[in-house]
Chain A
């Protein structure tokens, strides 16, 4: 599947900002590349602390966060995000190493954690779709909602 078939915003919109919180360097890089290929602007943070700092400056629209971080749990990052002022309504997807089946349980309680999605590693196209799909829908109370002109511009994948 490619985004082109999904009626996504026009290339003229500004890119969707995505913060990737992942401490495994190689994986982070590869994932970032993978994501950038779909037209996202990606920043990497390799720890919870770094993530919170980056949120303040980068103001992501989407946060993709690993559950296990060296200094704190991914959930704590989310908690801080939601409690804070900046990007508090960003879409948050937690990356866990749980099997799919267990995710249901987590997803059911997702609201409690302030998380929008629970995803299992590794990241795949499908999962990415699922997360980004939501970007097409206007979210109530979403901060700095980009205007039609500001909507992320997605580059088409290079054939």
Chain B
């Protein structure tokens, strides 16, 4: 303001200053002339009338002198005012400059006629000029403007000048160091009486930071806009004031079936989206109270009238000064359907599990039981909770617990199928045998989920097995007894009678006259035949029940048998034996002997070869009998059919002495029977000493 007033005063003064000197000179000249004229013309006044007459000129001179004095005083006053104004102006200038610098602004004073441009203010940061003021051509100013904006500025300036309107423009300037600053300039043209623009004054403010902020805000708004539009969830903006839609995104359109245009400006109820008005009101009220609404489930109706389950969250935000509700919602109808299906499936499983006659159980990845079916509960009589985790083990027979847990645990670690048998206590305290098997389960992503298994009552089978075992044993015993009996009969009865026969023949031969050589020879032949029969009978007897075992020991008896057999059948048997312990229990010797017999008979019958290897090996902890041939072999299916009895009998025998028997065979690659008996079973006890 001050400046404005001073400017006006300066203007006036400017005009006045020009004229005053001449005025001064004119009045001064007039005064002098008058004084001279007065002085030069008349003698000194004698009378008043003369004085009055002369006074006219004096009055005029006096008036002129007074006038001159006033003029001089006025001049002095003006000068003083002028000085003051100048001082004020300087102060004002300084203040302005400081203000401009502080505000990162630049002011200019453009003398249109001369084209001289004076800049002042924050020249450093805007133009990179290290000075307070700068005086130059207006063209220099144009050089600083960013090339793209020059036209704009020129146009704005021209327009303002032409139309005598305030000049405004926003443009960039480039500093010498390459930095770009945004400026907003306002200015005004001053015109001469002839309406020619004389002067332009203006101020330009550095708005670079503000511009950047605006850019950032715009970018951010754009980002938000984009996010809003493209979000896979349905987003809506509604004004709290009147509950009208301000904005909805594409997902919303997709889920509801309504177009953006159809809903903007309308309320959800008008549109028909929300079923329950009260629900929505509650929601908005909660938001207004300051609550945050999360995972809010409600029913929405699509354009087609279909009802969907929706899960949403909402918040209050300010948009353009208005409080709005921003809501995010997802259509969970399908999810809910899947959940329902899953529940149904689980129900079905439970139904099956509980009505099945077998026991079903499940365990998690940490071996802890997580489920048992009704069957289990009914059988054990325990509560459901008591079975979980490791509780189920309590129902097992104490003797079976460790072993069963071992098998279970080991399989778990290997994620493999397992089976085991244990005795399970029934509600009434009785133990029954169960066959339990489990398989690992995996999640859809392949991770290990635990086990599922079933247990079935096999008590009958177990009893049958035991009975069968017992029967087998009895059969074997009976068989041995029978053989022994036959052997004995052969030995005691037949053999003896044959001996008798031979003796008689010998005696007959003796008493035959030497001359009857033919008869003698005939008897001799008969004796030979008889001896053969005797020998064969003995061999048969030994095959059935050999005292050789006791007498000769297992190795020798076996060797003898092999020799007999090879002679009899015309085959080759390579027999090899290490030294076997000589305190071998008779059952073991007999068993191994029988296994040898059975294996060799089978080999001779089925292998198709005529060479066999038999060996006895004495290892520190066991005796091993091996019978081998390189014949046509057989596959394991056959082994369980057809020849079953022989092999079963071998297995049973080995069982009886706690030994193991393994038969390996490959088609065309031969067969090997391997029977082994552990050491601690070998010692013949004092009690069983023959």
A residues in contact (CB < 8 Å) with B: 24, 26-27, 30-31, 33-34, 37, 67-68, 97-102, 105-106, 120-125, 157-159
**B506 and A159 within 8 A (CB):** no
Question: A residues within 8 A CB of B492?
Answer: 24
**A99 and B535 within 8 A (CB):** yes
The yes or no answer to B288 lying at the interface (CB within 8 A) is no
Which partner residue on chain B sits nearest A66 by CB separation? B496
- Complex CA distance for A123 and B499, rounded to whole angstroms: 7
Question: A residues within 8 A CB of B552?
Answer: 102, 105-106
The yes or no answer to B255 lying at the interface (CB within 8 A) is no
Contacts A99-B539, A102-B548; is A26 near B496 (CB within 8 Å)? yes
**B503 and A31 within 8 A (CB):** yes
Out of A101, A106, A125, which one reaches B506, CB within 8 Å?
A: A125
User: In the complex, what's the smallest C-beta–C-beta distance from A1 to chain B, in angstroms?
Assistant: 10
**Of the 9-residue stretches B53-61, B165-173, B556-564, which lies at the interface with chain A?**
B556-564
List the 10 closest A-B pairs by CB distance, nearest first. Answer: A122-B499, A122-B502, A24-B496, A97-B538, A30-B503, A27-B496, A121-B499, A102-B560, A27-B500, A34-B503
Interface residues on B, range: 35 or more
User: In the complex, what's the smallest C-beta–C-beta distance from B625 to chain A, in angstroms?
Assistant: 20
Tell me the residues in window 485-517 of chain B with beta carbons closer than 8 Å to chain A beta carbons.
491-492, 495-496, 498-504, 506-507, 509-511, 513-514
**B556 and A105 within 8 A (CB):** yes
Tell me the residues in window 277-320 of chain B with beta carbons closer than 8 Å to chain A beta carbons.
none
**Interface residues as binary, B40-54 with A (CB distance below 8 Å gives 1, 0 otherwise):** 000000000000000
**B538 and A37 within 8 A (CB):** no
Q: A121-B496, A122-B530 are in contact. List 7 more A-B contacts (CB 8 A).
A: A24-B496, A101-B564, A120-B538, A123-B506, A124-B531, A125-B509, A157-B510
Question: B residues within 8 A CB of A121?
Answer: 495-496, 499, 534, 538
Question: A residues within 8 A CB of B547?
Answer: 67-68
- Complex CA distance for A67 and B492, rounded to whole angstroms: 12
Question: A residues within 8 A CB of B556?
Answer: 105
Which partner residue on chain A sits nearest B502 by CB separation? A122
User: In the complex, what's the smallest C-beta–C-beta distance from B587 to chain A, in angstroms?
Assistant: 20
**A124 and B500 within 8 A (CB):** no
18 contacting pairs across A/B (C-beta < 8 A): A30-B500, A34-B506, A37-B507, A68-B491, A98-B542, A98-B548, A99-B539, A99-B542, A101-B564, A121-B495, A121-B534, A122-B498, A122-B500, A123-B499, A123-B502, A124-B527, A124-B531, A125-B506
Question: A residues within 8 A CB of B539?
Answer: 99
User: In the complex, what's the smallest C-beta–C-beta distance from B329 to chain A, in angstroms?
Assistant: 101
The yes or no answer to B541 lying at the interface (CB within 8 A) is yes
Most buried by B among A33, A102, A123: A102
- Complex CA distance for A98 and B534, rounded to whole angstroms: 10
Out of B498, B507, B514, B535, which one reaches A34, CB within 8 Å?
A: B507
Most buried by B among A24, A67, A106: A24
- Complex CA distance for A157 and B560, rounded to whole angstroms: 39
Out of B502, B538, B542, which one reaches A124, CB within 8 Å?
A: B502
- Complex CA distance for A105 and B527, rounded to whole angstroms: 25
Which partner residue on chain A sits nearest B557 by CB separation? A102
- Complex CA distance for A137 and B65, rounded to whole angstroms: 207
- Complex CA distance for A80 and B514, rounded to whole angstroms: 43
Out of B510, B511, B530, B560, which one reaches A125, CB within 8 Å?
A: B510
Which partner residue on chain A sits nearest B690 by CB separation? A73
- Complex CA distance for A106 and B560, rounded to whole angstroms: 12
User: In the complex, what's the smallest C-beta–C-beta distance from B524 to chain A, in angstroms?
Assistant: 10
How many contacts between A and B, using CB within 8 angstroms? Answer: 80
Question: B residues within 8 A CB of A105?
Answer: 552, 556, 560
**B510 and A122 within 8 A (CB):** no
Question: A residues within 8 A CB of B506?
Answer: 34, 123-125
- Complex CA distance for A30 and B538, rounded to whole angstroms: 20
- Complex CA distance for A6 and B551, rounded to whole angstroms: 35
Out of B498, B509, B513, B564, which one reaches A99, CB within 8 Å?
A: B564
Contacts A26-B496, A68-B491; is A97 near B541 (CB within 8 Å)? yes
- Complex CA distance for A121 and B502, rounded to whole angstroms: 9
User: In the complex, what's the smallest C-beta–C-beta distance from B689 to chain A, in angstroms?
Assistant: 13
Out of A30, A31, A101, A123, which one reaches B563, CB within 8 Å?
A: A101
Question: A residues within 8 A CB of B527?
Answer: 124
User: In the complex, what's the smallest C-beta–C-beta distance from A3 to chain B, in angstroms?
Assistant: 11
User: In the complex, what's the smallest C-beta–C-beta distance from A121 to chain B, in angstroms?
Assistant: 5
**A33 and B541 within 8 A (CB):** no
User: In the complex, what's the smallest C-beta–C-beta distance from B132 to chain A, in angstroms?
Assistant: 137
User: In the complex, what's the smallest C-beta–C-beta distance from B566 to chain A, in angstroms?
Assistant: 11
Question: B residues within 8 A CB of A124?
Answer: 502, 506, 527, 531
Contacts A24-B492, A27-B496; is A98 near B538 (CB within 8 Å)? yes
- Complex CA distance for A112 and B1, rounded to whole angstroms: 151
Question: B residues within 8 A CB of A33?
Answer: 507
User: In the complex, what's the smallest C-beta–C-beta distance from B672 to chain A, in angstroms?
Assistant: 28
Question: B residues within 8 A CB of A34?
Answer: 503, 506-507
- Complex CA distance for A67 and B511, rounded to whole angstroms: 30
- Complex CA distance for A33 and B548, rounded to whole angstroms: 30
Question: A residues within 8 A CB of B496?
Answer: 24, 26-27, 121
Tell me the residues in window 531-574 of chain B with beta carbons closer than 8 Å to chain A beta carbons.
531, 534-535, 538-539, 541-542, 547-548, 551-552, 556, 560, 563-564
- Complex CA distance for A147 and B275, rounded to whole angstroms: 143
**A159 and B513 within 8 A (CB):** yes
User: In the complex, what's the smallest C-beta–C-beta distance from A120 to chain B, in angstroms?
Assistant: 8
Which partner residue on chain A sits nearest B512 by CB separation? A159
User: In the complex, what's the smallest C-beta–C-beta distance from A142 to chain B, in angstroms?
Assistant: 28
- Complex CA distance for A24 and B140, rounded to whole angstroms: 155
User: In the complex, what's the smallest C-beta–C-beta distance from A113 to chain B, in angstroms?
Assistant: 10
- Complex CA distance for A125 and B510, rounded to whole angstroms: 9
Question: A residues within 8 A CB of B534?
Answer: 121-122
Most buried by B among A26, A100, A101, A122: A122
Which partner residue on chain A sits nearest B492 by CB separation? A24
**B503 and A100 within 8 A (CB):** no
Question: A residues within 8 A CB of B541?
Answer: 97
User: In the complex, what's the smallest C-beta–C-beta distance from A123 to chain B, in angstroms?
Assistant: 6
User: In the complex, what's the smallest C-beta–C-beta distance from B486 to chain A, in angstroms?
Assistant: 14
- Complex CA distance for A120 and B513, rounded to whole angstroms: 28
- Complex CA distance for A157 and B539, rounded to whole angstroms: 34
User: In the complex, what's the smallest C-beta–C-beta distance from A93 to chain B, in angstroms?
Assistant: 15
Question: A residues within 8 A CB of B513?
Answer: 159
Most buried by B among A67, A98, A100, A120: A98
User: In the complex, what's the smallest C-beta–C-beta distance from A36 to chain B, in angstroms?
Assistant: 11
Which partner residue on chain B sits nearest A105 by CB separation? B556
Which partner residue on chain A sits nearest B547 by CB separation? A68
User: In the complex, what's the smallest C-beta–C-beta distance from B501 to chain A, in angstroms?
Assistant: 8
Question: A residues within 8 A CB of B560?
Answer: 101-102, 105
- Complex CA distance for A99 and B507, rounded to whole angstroms: 23
Out of A37, A68, A100, A158, which one reaches B535, CB within 8 Å?
A: A100
Question: B residues within 8 A CB of A122?
Answer: 498-503, 530-531, 534
Which partner residue on chain A sits nearest B552 by CB separation? A105
User: In the complex, what's the smallest C-beta–C-beta distance from A55 to chain B, in angstroms?
Assistant: 23
User: In the complex, what's the smallest C-beta–C-beta distance from A110 to chain B, in angstroms?
Assistant: 13
- Complex CA distance for A79 and B448, rounded to whole angstroms: 75
